[in-house]
Structure 1
């Protein structure tokens, strides 16, 4: 039994996407490594018999690399079917420049909104949160890690892979007779992934402070705000537009935190 071949643009997408996006994902993992000891340290201190930090770093790096690779492959399959784009994969340099410009203001404003929400909700989260927050400085390493792993690695996972796969899945299940995914399907996928994006940050927060309903709500809300912005840029513009906005969010957060 022979398989029906994929349309030519889709069938060529996987190798080109792997060659283009996988190196970016590996760079994102490397950019996160300097911040991992500070993130994993409190967890190892509370865990009897925890492995050495070097072992944890190696295992974490391997897991993240595998996750990025799977995300690149999943997005390479789903994104062109959903009508989503990567300007780097398509080699569309003019559109890349336009999408980069379009991401500047949303990225910076998202950072400002997150800082404002953080300042508003912080006093409501208790003394344990205040002590943990006081020890979390927006250093250069933290900012670069956020720009690289957040701007590249998380966008490959959340938008390129998950938004694309969910969009195709919802389209095939609920609107199979439609020629392409509708705006409702796309927006549903964007919002769902944004919430998952927020939930995914709870592990890092739990390593610093015991989770309470207020802390969970705050963490999910602040990250979901960014997730919706990046998701809209991805689905309406391109993967690179979401990446640039996400990276600039971390720049704005650091700048405002230092200034205020």
Structure 2
């Protein structure tokens, strides 16, 4: 149970993230469905929207806690870690911040944000007109939803749990232990996790656009796959906190700088 404290801490962060992401998801649905269809959907829910929001938030908190604990349990064999949180919570010491890791994470987030905007504007928008049309989610809802849910919950689910699990399975299959794992294990883990992350966006994409076309599927795998590989690499080389920081930086740059500039011009 030595990992329980960290798992509970991450679960608490997941709970907070869930409280912010729920209103963001509601507004995104309202925009994509239209007022009439959105109202119909809300009226079909057997409980009040408040109760539904509380239930969804608690579910995210529990899921984050459980998957954190499983991922943390597997890190002993994989060598993947959370250097800052682990030092702070379990060793009761002042954590050492890897400044080069911080710079790499922030720079990666900035480049990732620019890559997303340019890819959409130059490649995908000409084939997906809806990308450039219509109302956008209120910026602060999108910001907090992305920073907290994307930066914390998604990194726990996809890096701490899923990527660690894949590397752990490879280590068990090939009878390798921490310190003796080839780089290929980590590349397989981060790429597979990124691909599954991309595939996980397809249901929401279909809901937003009404169908899944080849160009929409390509967009989901290109954008989310490249960024997922970036975050996985940071988790492998620096630690989960740096992957979280990079993911958060991407959403901040997108919502606070790039999208407002794009709307102006």
With the length of structure 1 as denominator, give the TM-score of the two structures: 0.84
1:83 to 79, 88, 112: 79
Task: Pick which of 34-43 and 217-226 moved more.
Answer: 34-43
Instruction: Name the structure 1 match of 2:253.
Output: 252
* Preserved contact between residue 39 and residue 207 of structure 1 (Cα < 8 Å): no
Tell me the CA shift for residue 98 of structure 1.
Answer: 5.2
Counterpart residue number, 2:185: 185
CA contact (8 A) 1:75 1:162 kept: yes
The 8 Å contact of residues 82 and 168 in structure 1, kept in 2 or not, is answered as yes
Contact 2:23 2:141 in 1 (8 A): yes
- Tell me the distance in 1 between the aligned counterparts of 2:29 and 2:184: 39
SS in 1 for 2:125: helix
Q: Cα–Cα, structure 1 residues 82 and 177, in superposed 2: closer, same or farther, change >3 Å? A: closer
Distance 1:168 1:73 in 2: 14
| 2:105 and 2:234 in contact (8 A); partners too | yes
Residues 68, 40 of structure 1: CA spacing in aligned structure 2 closer, same or farther, 3 A cutoff? Answer: farther
- Tell me how many residue pairs correspond in the alignment: 246
> Is the 8 Å Cα contact of residues 21 and 89 (structure 1) preserved in structure 2?
no
Gaps of 5+ in 2: 89-93
Shift of 1:177: 4.4
Q: CA RMSD in A?
A: 2.4
Distance 1:38 1:145, change over 3 A: same
Q: How does 1:30-69 map to 2 (within 5 A)?
A: 30-41=19-30, 42=33, 44=38, 50-51=44-45, 52-69=48-65
Matched residue, 1:163: 163
Task: Note if 1:73 corresponds to 2:69.
Answer: yes
2:22 equivalent to 1:22: no
Unaligned runs of 5+ in 1: 1-10
Structure 1 runs of 4+ aligned residues shifted over 4 Å read 43-49
What SS does structure 1 have at the residue aligned with 2:96? helix
8 Å Cα contact 1:138-1:257 kept in structure 2: no
Per-residue CA deviation, residues 105-142 of structure 1 (Å, 9 max, x unaligned), is 11111111111111123334344x347x5323461110
> What TM-score does the superposition give when structure 2 sets the normalisation length?
0.83
